[in-house]
Chain A
Amino acid sequence: MITRIIVDILLLLSILYANFWISLIVIVAGLFYFKNYYEVIGAGIIIDILYGIPLAKYLQIPFITTIAFGALYFMIGKIKQYIR
């Protein structure tokens, strides 16, 4: 539980102050390491609220990170089932 809280704090700090790829690494690691790592959705929502705007490259969808992280949650969940 303590590990999870520490990773969550790290994730939050990386979203606020670090490059995006650092947050992505923390998220992928968290998804593999913890069971039901729902925090990933919260992280997506925070990123979209703080930085998101409708852009042509994302088909003008302003919450693309939440969608991407949701997809990542399911994908890594499935991968974990097969490699268990």
Chain B
Amino acid sequence: MNYRQDKRIISKKDVLTGLGIILVTYVIFGTSIGSAVQSGLERVVAPLRKATNEQTLSADIFGMFRSKITLTQENESLKKELFDLGLKLLDRNLLYEENLLLKEKVGRFNVNESIYARVIAKPTQSAYDTLIIDIGDENGLRGGERVMYGDNILIGSVAEVGTRTAKVKLFSSYGEETAVVIGPQKISAIAHGYGGGNFEIKIPRDTPVEKGDIILAPSLMPHILGTVEYLESKPNDPFKRVLFMGPVSPLLVNYVVVLLNM
């Protein structure tokens, strides 16, 4: 018995399904239904995510298997590191106070109001390089605010604000461009995000940039983006590549600080 094969690559049903998908996508993303669905979803998801993160933080299963000697050694080295860091922090705080005092003298005193937020979803959960944080419209976010790790490490900006959550776009997302200044000579450049907390800068080959130079996001109170980790220049290329990584991986960030009055 012979069966007649349907040779058409795209059938009528495929076309109808495709049109259906386009229509549904338009209705959800092109109308106000999308924000209503988002607000409903975040109401359900945010409390559950918070609970899951709590459990993850408290459960260090591997810690149980570490030997006592290793733990003692680690403890000693951490104490020493903590002491050194304490001294550095003291120095940093003195400089910071002096900095504020000088700004006040020249009439540019402006302390940013900030708010702490917990990260409830990290970049690995989607193809987008985004963090989801547990503050939103209710906490005064409007979009565009700078997002920091700790006091001075800049990691991204608020891209979209929901009622109780917000999406943070990381500056290290592939293709994102951020204005930076490099090193003590404050050389202006554009840093291109490379994904996973990495950046690339292309500057003229003869620009004096050294490994270890600090890279800052320019503003009245500059924030750290990273330090130069790798330099690559070729004799036939008039530009050199500067590669650097943020001081903290976006995957390890559990809490962030959002600067409100930018």
Contact = CB atoms under 8 A, between A and B. Distances in A.
On whether the two chains bind one another, the answer is yes
A53 B37 contact: no
Contact of B38 (A49, A56, A78): A49
Interface residues of A, number: 33
B52 A53 contact: no
A49 B130 CA distance: 12
Interface string B28-41: 11000010011001
Contacts of B160: 53
Contacts of A68: 127
B167 A53 contact: yes
A11 to B, nearest CB: 13
Interface stretch (B59-67, B169-177, B219-227, B254-262): B169-177
Interface of A: 15-20, 41, 45-58, 62-68, 70, 73-74, 77-78
Interface of B: 9, 14, 17-18, 21, 24-25, 28-29, 34, 37-38, 41-42, 45, 48-49, 52, 121, 124-130, 132, 159-160, 167, 169, 173-177, 193
21 contacts: A16-B49, A20-B124, A20-B127, A45-B24, A45-B25, A50-B41, A51-B128, A52-B128, A52-B167, A53-B159, A55-B128, A55-B129, A55-B169, A56-B174, A63-B29, A65-B126, A66-B21, A67-B25, A68-B127, A73-B17, A74-B18
